[in-house]
Amino acid sequence: MSSDTARSEVTRPRVELRWWAGCPSTDRALSELREALNDLGMADIEVEMREIRSDAEAGEASFHGSPTVLIDGVDCVDASDEPTGLCCRVYRRRDGRIGPTPDPEDLRAALRLAAQRLERVG
């Protein structure tokens, strides 16, 4: 592995999408996530998909609803006040509307922040 490749991997955040089959938002969330990655020049990052199947698993995984996007293990939108469980997650868009997926600008902001953090560390 060349040093450039190694550095590239170090500065690439890990992106995970956690989902529950009972909520129809997963495809849209994945599409918006890939679009955000593409916009930021991170199209090569593979989105790790993890299905949450039970309330117990939701609790163990701190899963606050479907979909949940983690960037380097950090929720792209803070939900620490919300209960965990198998449900569709409520997101508030930046324009005030309620929706079933994160605001794409929130996704981009979280990805930028993670990349900057890794740049500093790397």
Binding residues vs other proteins (CB under 8 A): 22-25, 55, 83, 85, 87-91, 97-100
Q: Which is nearer to other proteins, 30 or 118 (CB)?
A: 30
Least distance from other proteins to the Cβ atom of residue 48, Å: 23
Instruction: For other proteins, give the closer residue by CB, 48 or 55.
Output: 55
In angstroms, rounded to a whole number, what is the distance separating the alpha carbons of residues 78 and 22?
22
Q: Which residues contact 109 (CB under 8 A, 6 or more apart)?
A: none
For residue 97, the minimal CB distance to other proteins (Å) is: 7
35 to each of 47, 58, 84, 119, 120, how far by Cα in Å? 12, 27, 27, 22, 25
> Which residues 6+ apart lie within 8 Å of 94 measured at CB?
103, 105, 106
Closest distance to other proteins from the beta carbon of 1 (Å): 42
Shortest Å, Cβ 14 to other proteins: 26
Q: Is residue 120 classed exposed, middle or buried when 0-12, 13-18 and 19+ CB atoms within 10 A define those classes?
A: exposed
- Return the number of the residue (24 or 122) whose C-beta is nearest other proteins: 24
Of 30 and 87, CB closest to other proteins? 87
